[in-house]
Amino acid sequence: MPFIIDGHNLIGAMADIDLADPDDEEQLLVRLHAHVAEVHKTIHIYFDRRAPGERSTTRRGRVIAHFVDRTRTADDAIRDHVERLHREAANWTVVSSDHAVLNHARRHGARTLSSQEFLSGLHPSTQSDSEDEVRDVQLSPEEIRLWEQQFHNTNNGSI
């Protein structure tokens, strides 16, 4: 079952990512990419306040991030997405801490989870490590390619 996620609500429910971090969205996308590799589900995640010049949509495998321009909210975009699904909404789960968003999704037949409920269901390998626990992380060839692509895009023209 695919997910539609309110990105900033999810970050706000996390203990180890802060909304004030300049790369909070990136940290979440990395974690969700690892999660979908484990569970083979698709995630559409919406973020408010797209920066000028930033792309409106980026994709990392099965994680599609939508950055909403400043004239709308992620909540608006999530509601629109659910409405476009029509009968297929019953096959989707909406994740948010916003009761209005969750109620709208339910009225259209979608399943819902609070951000905290979604976090509790994350595979342990995608949850943060404690300071006392260090794991050896093995990347798949696909993940290595994605990281190399991300590194190239980040440093393109700056060296």
103 within some domain: yes
**Rama region for 86: left / alpha / beta (φ>0; ψ in -120 to 50; rest):** left
Q: Assess whether pLDDT exceeds 90 at residue 50.
A: no
* Helix residue ranges per DSSP H, the chain: 7-12, 24-39, 74-85, 99-107, 115-120, 141-155
**Digit-coded pLDDT (tens) for 77-115:** 999 999 999 999 999 999 999 999 999 999 999 999 999
Least confident of 14-18, 68-72, 123-127, 129-133: 129-133
151 within some domain: no
**Digit-coded pLDDT (tens) for 119-150:** 988 755 444 443 333 344 566 777 777 777 76
Query: CA-to-CA distance for 105 and 100, rounded, in angstroms?
Result: 9
150 within some domain: no
139 within some domain: no
Contact 63, 43 (CB under 8 A): yes
Contact 100, 90 (CB under 8 A): no
111 within some domain: yes
**Rama region for 146: left / alpha / beta (φ>0; ψ in -120 to 50; rest):** alpha
Q: Which of 44, 50, 47 is nearest to 69 (CA)?
A: 50
Q: Which CATH number do you get for residue 109?
A: 3.40.50
Mean pLDDT of the chain: 83
| Domains held by the chain: number | 1
Please state the φ and ψ torsions of residue 20, each to the nearest 5 degrees. Answer: -80, -15
In the prediction, which pLDDT does 127 show?
46
State the residue range of the domain holding 59.
3-134
Calculate mean pLDDT across residues 54-68: 87
In the prediction, which pLDDT does 85 show?
96
Q: What is the pTM of this model?
A: 0.74
155 within some domain: no
